[in-house]
């Protein structure tokens, strides 16, 4: 018997998620060749973890046997006006506040507790960039968004500045209807990408050229071919989102944990360069920036100079 979605959606919305979608579990056969080709062309760069658990990415049943429904949740992180510091290079707005992994993970635990209180001894697993789950595919399946030419998820009412998380459960809900693609003939993201990481036809990203990859995921030196092309970004990149016409509908996040840290707002590039490891650990203990680390941030700043 399919359960009523309304009480669960209301609870999730009250926790700060502005979109909630439901998808029926299935094997993502059409994604198999696409993912394999993407990996074979080394578009994932040094992110070798993407090569592992290939079958798990395509089949949620391998992640959670008995799974019937995938809940897809979206949390807004947009901030406007964009914080400016003329002595600090650019940092993606998703990293201005508390690490979203921590914020969302705590909320998904609350959701699962609520589900067990209201539905009994059910099975559920939540993933916040922590497992082999194709979140953007499930976001499309659940009607939250389509995958744009920049390969990011886009919602026609709220744009693309949001995080995705998936909860797998053995509960059965009626599936939502996917949204169709509304990118049309627009190529703004393709034309604006500073490193030409997006395929000329769109819908395909060479992550090894993406500024977000180069400043966060890449642990070795940034290749010299990107000198002068980083557009002054030192952690992440928002260019393909900034130019997307759908983001004219983006609104300020009401999730206070994701809003700008005062300690980050005042930091200059030179202070990053002169910073001790102890100070970095203290300032960024709750930030996604710790993923790159102090030496990584210093590398990125120097590469832009």
Contacts of 157 (CB under 8 A, 6+ apart): 249
Q: Which tokens sit at 281?
A: 């650990």
Q: Which tokens sit at 251?
A: 């609104």
Comparing C-alpha atoms, which of 254, 177, 170 is closest to residue 22?
177
Q: Which tokens sit at 174?
A: 């009626």
Q: Which tokens sit at 151?
A: 């390969």
Residue 231 a catalytic site member: no
Set 55, 129, 181, 274: catalytic member: 129
Q: Which residue is associated with the tokens 């001894």?
A: 121
Between the two ends of the chain, the Cα-to-Cα distance in Å is 61
**Nearest-angstrom CA–CA distance, 61 and 236:** 33
Q: Which tokens sit at 301?
A: 């700043």
Which residues are catalytically annotated? 129
């Amino acid at each position: 018997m399919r359960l009523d979605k309304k009480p669960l959606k209301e609870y999730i919305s009250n926790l700060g998620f502005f979109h909630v979608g439901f998808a029926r579990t299935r094997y993502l056969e059409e994604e198999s060749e696409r993912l394999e080709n993407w990996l074979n062309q080394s578009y994932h760069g040094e992110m070798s973890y993407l090569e592992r658990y290939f079958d798990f990415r395509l089949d949620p049943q391998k992640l959670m046997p008995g799974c019937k429904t995938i809940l897809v949740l979206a949390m807004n992180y947009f901030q406007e006006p964009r914080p400016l510091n003329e002595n600090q290079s650019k940092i993606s707005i998703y990293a201005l506040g508390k690490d979203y992994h921590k914020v969302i993970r705590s909320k998904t635990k609350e959701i699962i507790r609520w589900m067990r209180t209201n539905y009994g001894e059910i099975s559920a697993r939540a993933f916040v960039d922590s497992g082999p789950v194709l979140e953007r595919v499930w976001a499309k399946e659940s009607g939250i968004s389509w995958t744009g030419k920049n390969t990011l998820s886009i919602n026609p009412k709220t744009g693309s500045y949001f995080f995705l998380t998936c909860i797998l459960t053995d509960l059965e809900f009626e599936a939502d209807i996917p949204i169709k693609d509304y990118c049309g003939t627009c190529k703004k993201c393709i034309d604006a990408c500073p490193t030409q990481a997006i395929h000329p036809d769109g819908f395909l990203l060479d992550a090894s050229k993406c500024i977000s990859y180069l400043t966060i995921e890449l642990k070795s030196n940034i290749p010299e071919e990107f000198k002068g092309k980083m557009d002054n970004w030192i952690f992440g990149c928002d260019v393909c989102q900034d130019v997307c016409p759908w983001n004219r509908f983006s609104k300020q996040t009401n999730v206070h944990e994701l809003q700008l840290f005062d300690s980050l707002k005042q930091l200059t590039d030179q202070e990053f360069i002169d910073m001790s490891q102890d100070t970095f650990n203290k300032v960024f203990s709750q930030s996604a920036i710790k993923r790159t680390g102090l030496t990584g941030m210093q590398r990125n700043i120097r590469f832009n100079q």
